[in-house]
Amino acid sequence: MKKLLLLLLTSYTLMANALPQSITTTIKSIDKNGQITLATAVPKGMSGIVVHDYGNGLSAITNAVITDSNAKATLLKYTAIPHDNIPNIKTASQVNDKVILGNFYSNALLIAPDATSYANITKQFKKTWIHPDMFALDFMKNSQSAISFNNIEEFAKKNQVGLVLIASNHGLFILDPISKTFIGKNDISVNTDKAMKPFFARFKQMDTSVFGMSKVTLTDYDKAINNLIK
């Protein structure tokens, strides 16, 4: 009995600490304002795409989508691959079109305070990890001073990042960077007493002046994270 109880408790902990997964459903209805009803109830704040099937093995993405409550979602213009030489899809999203939510959730970025926290957390989840060095380069190039929803979203769109995990001493917060919505929280917490400024990357110190720009004052890790999760 004790072994069974331990197994159940372990299973519950693993489920509670799991990361959000991609969900595939379909459009059940579309109203005149462009809001859709999905065939499946899904969590609020998930981003994804609508795929229209033309038959004969041909399909195309017609819209981006962000979920609301009660199986509702909003259709948005799809701009994940902006390029003048790529033609725009003119087809409108339709009832029964496929909706793939979290289409890039296998790609994740972890924002952590130090190398030890980063290594410990990434070992726990099987994801394609986008290293924060890439985010740091964008961060410095754009003369940013603090992590924000906007600079996370911009980086995520350019690099097909589906989930952003933000480590703090209050837990591990799971962000959909496109909807800018926290869609989960994990009970893993980290010590931020020796946090790098503004977040962990393999640079001794971030310096925007290397890109020929004036140096900015970087925001402390805890302050920036608390502004996001408040």
Q: Which domains can be identified in the chain, with CATH numbers?
A: 23-101 (2.40.10), 107-229 (no CATH)
What is the pLDDT confidence band of residue 211, given thresholds at 50, 70 and 90? low
The token duo for 183 is 């869609």
Q: Which residue shows structure tokens 């979602």?
A: 73
CA separation for the pair 55, 125 (Å, rounded) = 37
Tell whether the model's pLDDT for residue 206 goes beyond 90: no
Angle between helix axes 149-159 and 132-141 (nearest 10 degrees) is: 120
CA separation for the pair 34, 220 (Å, rounded) = 41
The token duo for 111 is 């924002």
Compute and round to an integer the Cα radius of gyration of the chain: 20
Helix H or strand E segment including 22: none
CA distances from 215 to 149, 198, 208 (A): 22, 14, 5
- Tens-digit pLDDT profile for residues 57-66: 899 999 999 9
Task: Enter the pTM of the model.
Answer: 0.86
SS3 27: strand
Neighbour tally for 13: CB within 10 Å: 11
Which whole number is the average pLDDT over 34-42? 93
Tell whether the model's pLDDT for residue 186 goes beyond 60: yes
| Residue 9: predicted pLDDT | 33
